Chain A
Amino acid sequence: MHIENGKVLQHIPIGAGYKVLTLELPVIAAAARPGQFIHLRIASLPDAVLRRPFSIYRVEGGTLSILYKAVGRGTEAMQPLASGEILSVLGPLGNGFPLPLPAGRTPVLVAGGYGVAPLYYLARKLQTKGVLFVGGAKAADVLLEDEFRALGWDVEIATEDGSRGVKGLVTVPLDAWIKTGRTESALECFACGPNGLMKALGHRAVEGGFKAWLSLDRHMGCGVGACLACVQKVRIDGEDTLVRVCKEGPVFEARDVIWED
């Protein structure tokens, strides 16, 4: 864990309100693993007492990128960020996705909206190619399709309004794909997206008997395990316990997660 001042190198809109922010962060970039996150202090909101957490989308040399959308006061304030500006960054934080992939497993990635960002970082680190199931509310929320195809991955799409791919959650094409004769125990699933999707996928994985690693998004405070704002109930060795999403997570195995809402 480091605190590093990151210079903005690029801040590029990629359509439908989504943006990619690239920062020069040699120390944090060198330590980062897929599934970890960074905690940004937004310089233009000096009165904001909390940093804002973002999954890591890309790491190239000494640079690190995030993919985000304006969804609140912090991300709204980030919109005018320009090259050369400096942001205080805490990271890399949390545990990433478990690597390497066990031998003989097919990687299956499941993403909703900008939840696809950490999965792209993961796909670039995986030796084995697999399938990405990516979804969103509408066609414009389906991100990084071309980038995954360029890596040689198959891409299956679903949208809630049916404007792109199958209508419904991405678990619909996932189910259909599994029924084409896949052995569920040979799948290793990695997922990131809205809570509803994580919950649906988590239940599906437990029922189907395949391993699924879910990256959970919970409202965070400190990002380092001190404030206990982002706790999640899990069952480990038959015992219910509260763990910190920022510290013990954000990635959890689906069968351990206890869904309360």
Chain B
Amino acid sequence: MHPKLDINLAGIRMKNPVMVASGTFGYGPEYSGLVDLNKLGAIVVKGISLQPWGGNRTPRLVEVPGGLINAIGLQNPGVEGFCEKYMPFLRKHDLAVIVNIWGKTVEDYAEVAARFSDVEGVHALEVNISCPNLKAGGSAFGTNLEATARVVSAVRARTRLPIIPKLAPNVSDIGAFARICVENGADALSLINSFPAMAINVETRRPVLANVTGGLSGPGIHPIAVKLVYEAAKAVKVPLIAIGGITSAKEALEFIIAGATAVAVGTANFTEPQTALRVVDGIADYLKRHALPSVDALIGSVRL
């Protein structure tokens, strides 16, 4: 028996539930020499804003126990630069293309969404309301219910593409944020973004990152992400894309059992670029071993 790996995520057909997370896989070509993109369910490209953006000063990245802290600051070529430079490449591949979008104002988000609406080959928009590395926008939206509602509804009004808000982990009630996104038109949710974090060089007493603070990702945040996915799944019916510390099929399966429809591999791409492919194989093996007909049969199946 060959279990069915394909899923329908808010109308997006994916051959398997495994994606690569925004900011950890570039725009597609970077890892294409090592990873056959046609074997991935989807790519979520690095965050795109209306205009090109230079990001933060360096150092932008530091390894810490359990993962890394980044403060890249959403450097990107802007909507036009991205479409010109990378969409022709992505269109040649058989995978869903989800574009992560961000802005400094509600209107920025809505305008970026509108621009992508008619771009051939874009399957959905992941709305980044939770980047910890922006002074304006980013998590300033994603940790405030009213601001979250404003961004999501503004984006909804300007595009017919499925919209997937990406939730911040540092909130007291993830269910409330999940619900308000759905009430304002979200088709699915991504969770979680990285945790606000900081590292200090004790010899110099200076912050390691030029931005002072950054976002923590990697294996250390995985159990926290499982709990938040579990809570969000109880709060809403829309499909969830789970992100946080996946290094093998085991963590991906935990997410699916907790209630996620799909998963995204992030930091592990840097460690082992072929992690996502191994996760796909590992999920297939698991379904066979447990005589499950499909991924769907596993979603939210946690036994309490």
Contacts and interface: CB of A to CB of B under 8 A. Distances in A.
Nearest to B73: A228
Given A227-B23, A229-B72, A41 B271 contact: yes
A55 to B, nearest CB: 20
Interface in A205-260: 218-219, 221-231, 242, 247, 260
Interface string A157-183: 000000000000000000000000000
B219 interface: yes
A49 B61 contact: no
Contact of A228 (B62, B72, B271): B72
Interface in B52-104: 54-55, 57-63, 65-68, 70, 72, 75
A51 interface: yes
A226 B63 contact: no
> Which bracket fits the contact residues of A?
20 to 34
Nearest to B30: A226
Contact of B219 (A47, A226, A231, A247): A47
Interface stretch (B145-153, B156-164, B231-239, B262-270): B262-270
A84 B59 CA distance: 36
B274 A49 contact: no
Nearest to B35: A3
B26 A49 contact: no
Given A219-B59, A219-B61, A231-B55, A225 B30 contact: yes
A48 B63 contact: yes
Contact of B60 (A1, A226, A229): A229
A41 B269 CA distance: 12
A88 interface: yes
Interface of B is mostly: loop
B72 A47 contact: no
A11 B59 CA distance: 31
Given A90-B273, A222-B269, A228-B55, A49 B23 contact: no
Nearest to B64: A49
B68 A49 contact: yes
Nearest to A245: B58
Contacts of B219: 47, 49
Contact of A219 (B25, B58, B274): B58
Given A48-B63, A49-B219, A242-B55, A227 B268 contact: no
Interface of B: 23-26, 30-31, 33-34, 46, 54-55, 57-63, 65-68, 70, 72, 75, 218-219, 267-274
25 contacts: A2-B33, A3-B34, A3-B273, A47-B65, A49-B271, A50-B61, A50-B68, A51-B271, A73-B63, A218-B58, A219-B59, A221-B68, A221-B70, A221-B270, A222-B269, A224-B30, A224-B31, A224-B34, A226-B24, A226-B30, A227-B23, A231-B75, A242-B54, A242-B75, A260-B57
